[in-house]
Chains A and B, each alone.
Chain A
Amino acid sequence: MATNLVRLLESSLRSNNAGVAQRTLRVFSSQQQQSEHSVEDDEEFRVLNLRTVKQQARRRVIKKEVVPPPRTTHMPVDQDWTAVWSGPRSFHPASVPLPLRQGYTERGAAAPSKYANAELMKIPNFLHLTPPAIRQQCEAIKKFCTPWPKGLESEATWKAVFPVEVVTTDYCHSLPTIRHPEARRVTITLKLSDLKFDAHAKDKFLRLVGDRYNQETGVLTFVADRCPTRKQNYDYALYLLTACYHESFITEPWEASKSEADMEVYLFERNKAKLSAEAILNWNATGEKQAPSATYADSVEKLINEGENEYNIAKYKEEVLKMLKIAN
């Protein structure tokens, strides 16, 4: 409607004189400009868009954040490295001012640099354990240390004072649990010579401990792992040692009935050899009886306990000749 009205006005104005037309046109000028576009759109032919050229949407420009340069560029030469790298940490190229390279390349090519190098991040590093760091930590824990006790300077002295050795194992593993079933095992070792025995007690003790005693080294070993915790196992091992020791000093009534077949070693004192030797020595003798000499008894015991070897037989012969007073 509005456009038609304007056209009508224009045509009527053209017929009128120019001065009036100009004035009226000025009045309508603002409206006319607005209406011009719609007239053109309406009347212009649309272009057949056969190829369907898509109007490209303007790509959004990704604004990149400004990344500061690596920290190594600002590091002073005399910085405190322990403050930079205080604990175990994966390698980071921007924090380590070293020109490191790692990786295998074909011959002639340089190894990959430290930037974006996953191999350097994989391997465990010891950058937190530099000598100054260790020194610092030692200084820090020094106040918790106590001086070494006096009189225990050499290994021989402290072994004499503390004859019992306790061996336990702690397991450090990379798991959320700190328990390990093997950590409860307690091993107690001591030398048999550190315990005081009489002949009967020693014999009984060795029978009680069985294969816990090593004949070659003379070391007694108690291993306890039957209880769930280490403390209980330690207590149990000490209890075993104590109980065996005190039990060995008790002489049961049935021990008197030990026959010759039960003896573990040949003893001259309780055997026929002693009686025979006494009979020979005291042949037709009246008054004080003679006893066979200790060296003779020793030689007989050795001959039977250790077996017949050249030395033992020669020794026995010598002793017999001496006892019978036969000149060689």
Chain B
Amino acid sequence: MNFLKKVTTQMLPMAEAHLSLGNNSALHTSAVCCRVQSGRYRITVKRDRPLTYEMANPPHFIGHRKSWNSWNTSTLKDALRPSQTAIEDVFIRKFITGTWHALVCSEIIIKRQHNMIRIAAIIRQAINARKMYFLIGYTEELLSYWMQCPVTLEFQTVADKKDVVFKYI
């Protein structure tokens, strides 16, 4: 505490001088910034930005026009492992978008029941069926090893990326 005493003895005259100089500018205020941008997309000049149904509805429509991407019981009152579940979901999403590189056309939906994790997504038919089967097995095997519980992939495929486009803005 000694160093504090030193500091205060040095600082106090300075602070007092400041106060005496400009009493009116001691407190700064600014307007409240209520800007919310996440999950909302801007209209382009050419109106050619493709949006899926998920992207077309901003986050405040969750539960009204669109539903949640993670389904689990961790967010109930007094439920267990809320943080671990959230981190695991982020990891699963990253792993799948990386493993199925440039193939995932939708959000990745993670549903948990008991110790089972079911992952659903819409995949482009850009690779042949053999590679797809390999990737499914690879993803399931690795994820179930990391999560220590059975993981099932329930993918739907589309012929073209444009199949999931809901509108252009």
Contact = CB atoms under 8 A, between A and B. Distances in A.
Contact of A175 (B73, B78, B118): B73
A179 to B, nearest CB: 8
Given A67-B159, A116-B122, A103 B111 contact: no
A174 B113 contact: yes
B53 A175 contact: no
B71 A175 contact: no
A311 interface: no
Interface stretch (B42-50, B133-141, B147-155): B147-155
Interface in B97-148: 105-107, 109, 111-115, 118, 120, 122, 125, 128-129, 147-148
B158 interface: yes
B41 interface: no
Interface residues of B, number: 47
A112 interface: yes
* Chain A interface main SS type: loop
A174 B72 contact: yes
A94 B112 CA distance: 23
Interface stretch (A85-93, A201-209, A218-226, A315-323): A85-93
A93 B164 CA distance: 14
Interface string A165-182: 000000011111110101
Given A104-B57, A112-B166, A178 B115 contact: yes
Interface stretch (A51-59, A121-129, A142-150): A121-129
A304 interface: no
B36 interface: no
A247 interface: no
B122 A118 contact: yes
B164 A116 contact: yes
A116 B114 contact: no
Given A116-B163, A118-B53, A122-B67, A174 B114 contact: yes
Nearest to A172: B114
A103 B114 CA distance: 29
Contacts of A116: 105-106, 122, 156, 158, 163-164
Given A67-B159, A173-B79, A174-B72, A124 B154 contact: no
Contacts, number: 100
A266 to B, nearest CB: 48
A257 to B, nearest CB: 49
Contacts of B118: 88-90
Contacts of B125: 64-65, 67
A217 to B, nearest CB: 28
Contacts of A177: 80-81, 115
A158 interface: no
A121 B154 contact: yes
Given A88-B113, A92-B156, A173-B79, A104 B65 contact: yes
Contacts of B109: 90, 118, 121-122
B93 interface: no
Contacts of B158: 115-116
A67 B160 CA distance: 12
A119 interface: yes
Given A172-B114, A176-B148, A122 B71 contact: yes
B68 interface: yes
A119 B166 CA distance: 12
A319 to B, nearest CB: 59
A123 B118 CA distance: 12
A117 interface: yes
A112 B53 contact: yes
Contact of B129 (A65, A117, A122, A180): A65
29 contacts: A64-B125, A93-B156, A103-B166, A104-B57, A112-B53, A116-B122, A116-B156, A116-B158, A116-B164, A118-B109, A118-B120, A119-B53, A119-B66, A119-B67, A121-B154, A122-B67, A122-B68, A122-B109, A173-B76, A173-B114, A174-B73, A174-B74, A174-B114, A175-B72, A175-B73, A175-B114, A178-B114, A180-B80, A182-B78
Cβ-closest 9 pairs across A and B: A174-B112, A90-B154, A90-B120, A104-B65, A174-B72, A173-B73, A118-B106, A176-B149, A116-B163
